[in-house]
């Protein structure tokens, strides 16, 4: 009886102790600050992503597309997948990207499973600086185009010319794209082949970066080019829904070209990289526009400029003239029957001035003008040149223009030379 009594006492005490412990136990709580009693948030590091994939979860290999390499070569040889999967990827990519347009030198990335099987989980091909093609193979084949983050930076730069605009921009660690922009903006006011030591420029513009690499200058807001003792200002102003550059007085910085170098004609052949030549009977590039017109039709200069070449090409353009309009644009006129009086190398011509007559000299089946336009040395389609406006700021917009350029001019003037 005593034994049962003591057993019961022990059980009661044990139960009581358990209840006390449960009611008064210490429950771990979030880390707190002992003085303020506030929660301390412990931030875990964000995973490092590459094209949206966490790099720690994969074995990653990167390569550049080689000469004559295509999607099948890459995915079967480097990725180890079947042609059936390659076909599925190519088929699903059609709405967003033509996989036949693989470019030599473009980067591609293979994401393999991080295990002994090393199975291809994803494939990424960089289409250009911003867009990339993704083939996610983890569950089913999912193909889409992604975009890299583009960071836009407002920049203010300056430079003093020592030898050339290009060299100065390079020496100042400025994007070479700015040299192209400035040469286009000031093409009609500054002779970039005659700039002198001591000339200088200032500019305010936006520059776009992807992965810390400069890819584009989407907009120049204002610029100044000091050339031979004269300040040339350029302000990007919107008029009639068109943005263009004007000086501080509201005059356009551009001059227009004629729509065409001759009248009473029709386009018989357009700009092409693969045209069948009617005389040679082969396909080759035709980087110009042919205007069919009667023999002797007058040909006029497209714009003001200087004749830099005149002669005869026996196995090509026949009688031809080449006119340099500024540091950006050059035009060429071929198959001429003859030249207008006074045409010679070095002669300056005016827009619309008679320079020659339609003929069919050289390799030509009939009378026509082979007309070509070069922009910074590269052939461009004459029919796609946007005729730059020459109209100044309209009187009704002048007050708005003056107020608009005030802060930009003040900011340009405040830029110190070589303070980049």
Residue 144 φ then ψ, to 5°: -160, 170
Strand partners of residue 305: 349
Backbone angles phi, psi at 69, to 5 degrees: -90, 140
pLDDT classification of 275: cutoffs 50, 70, 90: very low
Rg of the chain over Cα atoms, rounded to whole angstroms, equals 35
In this predicted structure, the answer to whether residue 280 has a pLDDT above a threshold of 90 is no
Q: pLDDT band at residue 286, thresholds of 50, 70 and 90?
A: low
Alpha-carbon span 324 to 162, nearest angstrom: 25
Query: How far is 162 from 160, CA to CA, in rounded Å?
Result: 6
φ/ψ (deg, to 5) at 252: -65, 140
Please say whether the beta carbons of 299 and 344 come within 8 A.
no
Classify residue 211 as left (phi > 0), alpha (psi -120 to 50) or beta.
left
User: Worst-scoring range by mean pLDDT, 129-133, 152-156, 198-202, 227-231?
Assistant: 227-231
- The model's confidence at residue 269, banded by pLDDT at 50, 70 and 90, is low
pLDDT given at position 36: 52
Quote the DSSP letter at residue 84: H
Which DSSP symbol is given to 359?
Answer: B
Pairing of β 131-136 and β 120-126: antiparallel
SS3 34: coil
CA–CA gap between residue 175 and residue 259 (Å, rounded): 34
Q: What does the block give as tokens for 207?
A: 């520059």
Specify the DSSP class assigned to residue 346: T
DSSP code string of 335-376? EEEEE-TT--TT-EE-TT-EEEEEB--SS-SSSEEEEEEEET
Tell whether the model's pLDDT for residue 386 goes beyond 80. no
* Least confident residue range of 224-228, 266-270, 413-417: 266-270
Tell whether the model's pLDDT for residue 2 goes beyond 80. Answer: no
Does residue 272 carry a pLDDT above 80?
A: no
- Residue 158 — pLDDT band, cuts 50, 70, 90? very high
Note the pLDDT of residue 187. 80
Q: Please give the average per-residue pLDDT across 45-71, as a whole number.
A: 92
Q: What are 15's two structure tokens? A: 């139960």
Q: State yes or no: pLDDT of 383 exceeds 70.
A: yes
Tokens representing 61?
């290999």
Predicted confidence (pLDDT) at residue 398 exceeds the cutoff of 90: yes
Neighbouring-strand partners of residue 339: 356
Rounded Cα distance, 378 and 382, in Å: 12
pLDDT at 276: 46
Alpha-carbon distances, residue 188 vs 205, 246, 305, 358 (angstroms): 20, 12, 10, 29
The Cα 412–Cα 417 span in angstroms is 11
Domains (range + CATH), the chain: 49-147 (3.10.450.350), 151-246 (3.10.450.350), 266-384 (2.70.70.10)
The more confidently predicted of residues 416 and 262 is 416
Helix (H, G, I), strand (E, B) or coil at 369: strand
Cβ of 113: how many Cβ atoms within 10 Å?
Answer: 14
Task: Tell me what pLDDT residue 326 has.
Answer: 85
Record the tokens describing residue 222, joined without a space: 């204002």
The distance of Cα 150 from the centroid of its chain, to the nearest Å, equals 12
Which range (148-152, 268-272, 288-292, 336-340) has the least confidence? Answer: 268-272
- 232-246, 275-289, 383-397, range with the lowest pLDDT: 275-289
Render 378-407 in DSSP notation, one character per residue.
Answer: EEE-GGG----------HHHHHHHHHHHHH
Tens digits of residue pLDDT in 339-361: 999 999 999 998 889 999 999 88
Burial 302-322 (b: 16+ CB within 10 A, else e): bbbbebeebeeeeeebbbbbb
Name the token pair of 227.
């050339």
**How far, in Å, CA of 55 to CA of 125, rounded?**
16
Nearest residue to 108 via CA among 86, 123, 92:
123
Please report where in the chains the tokens 């023999």 appear, as a residue. Answer: 295
What is the predicted pLDDT for the residue at 274? 47
The mean per-residue pLDDT over the stretch 251-255 comes to 85
Give the residue carrying structure tokens 């093409």: 187
- pTM more than 0.75: no
* Contact status, residue 87 vs residue 75, Cβ threshold 8 Å: no
Phi-psi domain of 264 (left: phi exceeds 0; alpha: psi -120 through 50; beta: other): left
Mean confidence (pLDDT) of the chain: 84
What is the per-residue pLDDT for 384?
A: 75
Residue 253 pLDDT exceeds 80: yes
The pLDDT assigned to 279 comes to 46
pLDDT of residue 47: 83
- What's the confidence (pLDDT) of residue 180? 86
Backbone angles phi, psi at 336, to 5 degrees: -65, 145
What is the per-residue pLDDT across 17-33, written as a single tens digit (0 to 9) for each?
554 544 555 444 444 44
């Amino acid at each position: 009886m005593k034994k049962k009594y003591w057993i019961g006492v022990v059980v009661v005490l044990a139960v009581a102790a358990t209840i006390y412990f449960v009611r008064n136990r210490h429950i771990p709580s979030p880390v707190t600050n002992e003085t303020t009693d506030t929660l301390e948030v412990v931030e875990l590091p964000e995973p490092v992503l590459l094209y949206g994939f966490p790099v720690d979860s994969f074995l990653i290999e990167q390569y550049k597309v080689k000469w004559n390499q295509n999607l099948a070569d890459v995915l079967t040889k480097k990725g180890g997948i079947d042609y059936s999967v390659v076909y599925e990827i190519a088929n699903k990519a059609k709405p967003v990207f033509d996989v036949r347009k693989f470019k030599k030198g473009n980067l591609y990335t293979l994401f393999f499973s991080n295990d002994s099987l090393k199975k291809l989980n994803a494939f990424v091909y960089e289409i250009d600086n911003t867009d990339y093609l993704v083939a996610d193979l983890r569950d089913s084949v999912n193909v889409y185009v992604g975009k890299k983050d583009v960071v836009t930076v407002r920049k203010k730069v300056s430079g003093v010319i020592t030898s050339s605009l290009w060299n100065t921009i390079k020496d100042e660690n400025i994007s070479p794209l700015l040299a192209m922009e400035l040469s286009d903006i000031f093409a009609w006011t500054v002779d970039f082949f005659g700039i002198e030591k001591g000339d200088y420029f200032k500019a305010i513009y936006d520059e776009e970066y992807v992965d810390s690499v400069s890819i584009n200058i989407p907009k120049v807001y204002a610029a100044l080019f000091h050339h031979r003792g004269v300040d040339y200002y350029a302000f990007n102003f919107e008029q009639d829904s068109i943005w263009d550059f004007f000086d501080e007085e509201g005059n356009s910085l551009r001059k227009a070209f004629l729509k065409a170098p001759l009248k009473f004609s029709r386009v018989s052949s357009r700009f092409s990289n693969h045209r069948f030549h009617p005389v040679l009977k082969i396909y080759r590039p035709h980087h110009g526009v042919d205007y069919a017109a009667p023999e002797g039709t007058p040909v006029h200069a497209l714009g003001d400029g200087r004749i830099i070449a005149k002669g005869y090409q026996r196995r090509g353009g026949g009688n031809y003239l080449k006119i340099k309009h500024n540091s950006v644009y050059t035009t060429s006129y071929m198959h001429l029957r003859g030249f207008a009086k006074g045409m010679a190398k070095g002669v300056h011509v005016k827009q619309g001035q008679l320079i020659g007559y339609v003929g069919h000299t050289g390799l030509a089946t009939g009378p026509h003008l082979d007309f070509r336009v070069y922009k910074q040395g590269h052939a461009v389609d004459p029919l796609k040149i946007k005729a730059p406006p020459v109209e100044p700021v309209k009187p009704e917009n002048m007050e708005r223009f003056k107020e608009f350029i005030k802060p930009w001019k003040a900011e340009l003037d405040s830029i110190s030379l070589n303070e980049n």
